[in-house]
Amino acid sequence: MGRIKENSTNNINRQYIHECDLTYAVCKIGGRWKLLILDKLKTEKLRFSELRKSISGITERMLTLQLRELEKEGLVKRTVYAQVPPRVDYELTDIARELIPIWQLLSEWGGRHKELIQEELLPEENS
């Protein structure tokens, strides 16, 4: 794969993301599945199959990709046990555990926001 040009839009955006702490943080946990995966791991270690069953709609491929990204970012720890059949557990790292109160607050905000928006939309639907 070739090098990214210094003045490319992609490179400029990447530099900005690293300068802004909030944007950097959102990029690490953003996306459709990452927070769901982290939330499932908040109380216990889970095997791949347990994670897959607990998150409806996620494909094996997507779960694999998201877990790899989370592991690369230092948010998820993967432990492989030398046994037959092979066993792999996933768990939150200490730095990921620091996020738990943040995503719980974000979840509460999401619930309030969703309610507010639904209340605002209902009068329009009845008109």
Token pair for 122: 């209902």
Residues whose CB is less than 8 angstroms from the CB of residue 100 and which lie 6 or more positions away in sequence, other chains included: 42
In this model, does residue 83 exceed pLDDT 60?
Answer: yes
- pLDDT single digits (tens) 27-43: 888 888 999 999 999 99
pLDDT interval class at 10 (50, 70, 90): low
The 3 state secondary structure assigned to the chain is CCCCCCCCHHHHHHHHHHHCHHHHHHHHHCCCCHHHHHHHCCCCCEEHHHHHHHCCCCCHHHHHHHHHHHHHCCCEEEEEECCCCCEEEEEECHHHHCCHHHHHHHHHHHHHHHHHHHHHHHHHHHC
Q: What is the mean pLDDT of residues 1-13?
A: 65
* Whether residue 101 has a cis bond before it, omega within 30° of 0: no
In this model, does residue 74 exceed pLDDT 60?
Answer: yes
- From CA 52, how far away is CA 63, in angstroms rounded? 7
In this prediction the pTM is: 0.77
pLDDT interval class at 16 (50, 70, 90): low
pLDDT interval class at 23 (50, 70, 90): confident
Q: What is the pLDDT of residue 25?
A: 85
What's the order of all strands across the beta sheet hosting 87-92?
46-47, 87-92, 76-81
Token pair for 98: 């620091």
How far is residue 52 from each of residues 40, 73, 94, measured CA to CA in Å?
A: 10, 20, 23
In this model, does residue 120 exceed pLDDT 90?
Answer: no
- Which has the minimum average pLDDT: 11-15, 17-21, 51-55, 64-68? 11-15
